[in-house]
């Protein structure tokens, strides 16, 4: 199995989750501007969409999109999703919210947006993160154990810090708890972030 990533991109969530699940995998950096992998492969042959993440499974099938990859990882280790009859549904709700309401809101910061666009995006991000701060159920989104959604939220919080966006205090504490996790440290070391 191989994860294709770009350092600090949203693919970091998958990188962390794979380590949290204890799965054996290789990882290869992608230069998103040149559209080449570290080994020189044309990335379009792996993911024609041209962005990360992509996870090539042992079967040879490649899965793309953060929500799909994180969901797949959660199915490999049920400890990474909330339990109960509605656990999977709650996980998908959190992943979709983080992807569509928070992740997408960072676009002006990565696409040369104006100061006005960035200010408006910051307001939206803070508002959306406020919802998560108000609904967090313990040390992590769903209680006392980490889920794949926590991995994704952590990356969004790194992006917020990088762009000087103040997040609610409960999420600052969450970010620090996540930073202390061995899986987070390992993934960040692999990506040259620490």
The per-residue pLDDT for 33 is 94
Of the candidates 68, 66, 91, the residue with the CA atom closest to the CA atom of residue 78 = 91
pLDDT of residue 39: 97
Distance, in Å, from the CA atom of 91 to the CA atom of 189, rounded to the nearest integer, reads: 27
pTM: 0.96
Task: With beta carbons less than 8 A apart as the criterion, state whether 191 and 7 touch.
Answer: yes
**Block mean pLDDT (10 aa), the chain, length 194:** 97 98 97 96 96 97 97 96 94 97 96 94 97 94 96 98 96 97 98 94
For residues 191 and 176, what is the distance between their CA atoms, to the nearest angstrom?
Answer: 19
Q: How far apart are CA 97 and CA 78, in angstroms?
A: 21
Rounded Cα–Cα distance for residues 95 and 66 (Å): 8
Q: What tokens were used for 193?
A: 């972030």
Residue-level pLDDT at 158: 98
Tell which residue, 44, 25, 32, has the closest CA to residue 8: 32
* Surface-to-core class of residue 177, CB atoms within 10 Å of its CB (0-12 exposed, 13-18 middle, 19+ buried): middle
3-state DSSP assignment of residue 77: coil
* Residue from 158, 160, 157, 163 nearest 115 by CA: 163
Q: Note the pLDDT of residue 1.
A: 97
State residue 29's pLDDT score: 97
Q: What is the pLDDT of residue 95?
A: 98
Beta strands 54-56 and 62-64: pairing type?
Answer: antiparallel
Give the pLDDT confidence score for residue 193 in this predicted structure.
Answer: 95
């Amino acid at each position: 199995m191989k994860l294709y990533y770009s350092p600090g991109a949203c693919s970091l969530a998958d990188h962390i989750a794979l380590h949290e699940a204890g799965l054996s995998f290789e990882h290869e950096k992608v230069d998103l501007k040149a559209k080449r992998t570290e080994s020189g492969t044309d990335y379009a042959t792996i993911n024609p969409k041209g962005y990360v993440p992509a996870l090539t499974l042992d079967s040879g099938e490649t899965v793309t999109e953060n929500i799909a990859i994180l969901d797949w990882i959660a199915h490999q280790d049920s400890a990474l999703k909330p339990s109960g009859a509605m656990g999977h549904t709650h996980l998908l709700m959190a992943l979709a919210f983080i992807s569509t309401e928070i992740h997408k809101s960072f676009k002006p910061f990565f696409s040369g947006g104006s100061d006005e666009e960035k200010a408006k995006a910051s307001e939206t991000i803070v508002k959306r993160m406020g919802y998560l701060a108000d609904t967090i159920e313990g040390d992590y989104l769903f209680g006392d154990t980490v889920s794949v959604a926590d991995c994704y939220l952590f990356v969004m919080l790194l992006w917020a810090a990088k762009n000087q966006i103040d997040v609610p205090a409960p999420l600052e504490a969450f970010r620090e708890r996540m930073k202390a996790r061995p899986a987070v440290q390992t993934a960040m070391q692999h990506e040259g972030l620490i």
